[in-house]
Amino acid sequence: MKTLATIATRDALLTALRDAPHPLSTAELAAALPWHREQVVHHGTWYHREAEHLKLVLCAGEFDVVDFRPYAAHVYPHLAALAATGQVGQVRVAGMRTAYWTAAQQPGVTVGQLDAMWSA
């Protein structure tokens, strides 16, 4: 069963891909997603530190409220699931580890277009 968070994440990914003028990498898609707020068990100063992907909202002693920024490893499984059902397309460029994604209804992207994007 899909959770509400899963549905919201996949909707946001699809919207970002439909709005993008060119294929997006997994990391670019992660950066396009909104931060999400979670309540986590207070763990020393772990959630109190300065970090690119987290922001402490409040410390209530036993728990912390933290805003998290989605990262590539978090969104990749969602993209793979969307690709498996044909909702997004994956574009791979030979010799590159980075995966690029397109909304399924967009026309196919040529390697030449990706090259142009890469060197832009």
Residues that bind Zn ion in the complex, under the rule CB under 5 A = 42, 59, 64
What does the block give as tokens for 103?
A: 């909304």
| Shortest spacing between CB 53 and Zn ion, in angstroms | 17
CA torsion sign, 26 to 65 to 6 to 81?
Answer: positive
| Shortest spacing between CB 55 and Zn ion, in angstroms | 13
| Shortest spacing between CB 49 and Zn ion, in angstroms | 11
- Least Cα distance to 68 among 54, 50, 57, 58 occurs for 54
Smaller CB separation from Zn ion, 42 or 55: 42
Residue nearest to Zn ion (CB): 59
Smaller CB separation from Zn ion, 57 or 96: 57
Cβ atoms 103, 14 nearer than 8 A: yes
Smaller CB separation from Zn ion, 13 or 54: 54
| Shortest spacing between CB 61 and Zn ion, in angstroms | 7
Kindly report the backbone phi and psi dihedral angles of residue 4, in degrees, each rounded to the nearest multiple of 5, phi listed first.
-60, -40
Mapped onto helix, strand or coil, the DSSP state of residue 39 is strand
Smaller CB separation from Zn ion, 12 or 59: 59
